[in-house]
Amino acid sequence: MSFNPTPRQLAGIKLAVFTLCLLPFIRLLWAAWTDDFGPNPVEFVQRWTGSWTFNLLLLTLCVSPLRGLTEWHWLLRLRRMLGLFTFFYAALHFLSFIGFDHLFEIDDIARDILKRPFVTVGFAAFVLLIPLAATSNQWAIRRLGGRRWQELHRNIYLIAILACVHYFWLVKATALLWPLAYSVAVALLLGWRVRERRRKAIPVPTVQAGKPLKFFPKRPD
């Protein structure tokens, strides 16, 4: 069913999405206010921010498939907001790691990144997110050009794969259900993307073999 919201309706939808995306952060603030972090506050903050980074990353990746299935092209107007909230929670996740675990000691942070593979992969995913967040504006699109901008933002698929690896390496062998569920979701979204690219690919036209030239000994009548 086709649904094209008016500018006022779209503004209301954006406000609702913004509010929903902000709720996990409000939950953190409430936990800090009421001291409701549980027995391990550091683990709570890191797991909470990491989970919501992944949740919003998946929602961002879902925008294009949903637009294709519903033909609601206005969904693209929400993708930038979802992507920026993904970076926001990723930044909180990274800050909780370098702040709580290492008290912002650069040497300790560097050693941990190099020593533990799941930290290395998570750090790589966060670094790749930075240029995506920095170029999520019209000025960057004009500056880079649409094609280069799209190529840069395709890194979100690599980031999703790295997030899956990070999650698998982070948890114990007895708690692989959620990493597996997230990985299946990422695989389905990547599979849809590959199928769409193949479907939209322009086939190379086949060139018919040319006929050999004929030469006459004299000019035909």
Can you give the pLDDT at residue 181? 95
More confident residue, 200 or 12: 12
Q: How many CB atoms neighbour CB 115 within 10 A?
A: 9
Per-residue pLDDT, 166: 95
Q: Which of 16-30, 78-92, 96-110 has the lowest mean pLDDT?
A: 96-110
**Would you say 138 and 159 are in contact if contact means Cβ atoms under 8 Å apart?**
no
pLDDT at 55 over 80: yes
162, burial (CB in 10 Å: exposed 0-12, middle 13-18, buried 19+) = buried
Residue whose tokens read 């979204």: 189
Is pLDDT above 70 for 95?
yes
Rounded CA separation 16/207 (Å): 54
pLDDT score of 48 more than 60 = yes
User: How many angstroms separate the CA atoms of 43 and 170, rounded?
Assistant: 12
Q: Which residue has the higher pLDDT, 36 or 125?
A: 125
The mean per-residue pLDDT over the stretch 184-208 comes to 80
145-164 pLDDT per residue, tens: 888 999 999 999 999 999 99
The predicted model gives 38-55 an average pLDDT of: 93
Q: What share of the chain is helix, strand, coil (3-state, %, to 5)?
A: 75, 0, 25
Mean pLDDT of all residues belonging to the chain: 89
Q: Determine the average pLDDT of the residues in 121-138.
A: 95
Q: Residue 145 corresponds to which tokens in the numbers above? A: 């050009």
Q: Residue 121 pLDDT more than 70?
A: yes
